[in-house]
Copies of this chain bind each other. A is one copy, B any other.
Amino acid sequence: VNALSAAELETRLRDIGARRYHRLHPFHKLLHGGACSKGQVQAWALNRYYYQATIPIKDASLIARCEDSSIRREWRSRLVDHDGAREGEGGIARWLKLTDGLGLDRAYVTSLQGLLPATRFAVDAYVNFVREKTLLEAIASSLTELFSPEIISERVEGMLKSYDFVTAETLAYFSQRPPQAERDSRFALDFVKQHARTAETQRSVLSALEFKCDVLWAMLDALYHSYVAPKHVPPGAFAPGDQEV
């Protein structure tokens, strides 16, 4: 098998996004289309909190295996984005403004008590992937950010329009993310195009991006099953109506 050119590789990566990114998931359509109940939006924000809170652990795991100072330095900005310069700043803190705004008790959210086990398994799989695969695959798995500015704009617009329990202030997380995601995904895409030159490594980066799409997709599958239909909440997980402030 012949290797692809860098431009062909980029086309194939973008094609994975067009077919498998969670923007296509029915739960996303309900959420941004204004068809979710408050309890469903709460369940989404509560579960997605674990993803947000785990991202710096994923990024530090990636930095920890990087022998090149310039890549570590570049990747470090992600830690700043999520953990902030000080208490109360950064992406995780902004996500908690969303769960606050939805009326969820903050101690309950951060305790992870109500998390769907499937969310935990999917997010932990992402961290383990970054720890165990090659650095190239770890970097490629971040490339879902190529597709995130679009989903974020749909989400913000749709949610502000449709839900009276959502305000621009509680959606502060999303207003910050697109420029960060653009900068980060440009770096990761350049890295992947430069370092994946053989058919084998190109296959591995394509698989890494599929894997990451699977992680995000599985999180929405679990939300759909538990909170949309047939609404089978697993034992111990968040039940809408519970845990409001």
Which residues of A are in contact with B by a Cβ distance under 8 Å? 19-20, 26, 116-118, 120-122, 124-125, 128, 210-211, 213-215, 217-218, 221-222, 224-226, 229-230, 232, 234-236
Contact = CB atoms under 8 A, between A and B. Distances in A.
Given A122-B121, A124-B125, A218 B234 contact: yes
B221 A235 contact: no
**Count of identical protomers in the assembly:** 2
14 contacts: A19-B235, A116-B218, A117-B122, A118-B218, A118-B221, A124-B125, A217-B235, A218-B234, A221-B225, A221-B234, A222-B222, A224-B225, A224-B230, A229-B230
Contact of A128 (B124, B211, B221, B226): B124
A210 B217 CA distance: 25
Contacts of A118: 118, 121-122, 218, 221-222
